[in-house]
């Protein structure tokens, strides 16, 4: 899951659905 979530973050697609409610990173750090 960690690698998948990281890939989703880098791709910027499907991040919100994969990111846990208390994930240590924002949903879209590059858009924050």
**pLDDT tens per residue across span 1-29:** 677 767 766 666 555 555 565 656 565 65
Tell the burial category of 9 from Cβ atoms under 10 Å away from its Cβ (0-12, 13-18, 19+): buried
CA atoms within 13 A on the CB side of 24: 2
Give the model's pLDDT for residue 32: 45
The confidence score (pLDDT) of residue 3 equals 74
Give the H/E segment covering residue 6: helix 2-11
Q: What is the pTM of this model?
A: 0.24
């Amino acid at each position: 899951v960690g690698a998948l979530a990281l890939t989703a973050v880098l791709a910027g697609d499907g991040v919100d659905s994969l990111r846990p409610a208390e994930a240590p990173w924002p949903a879209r750090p590059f858009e924050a």
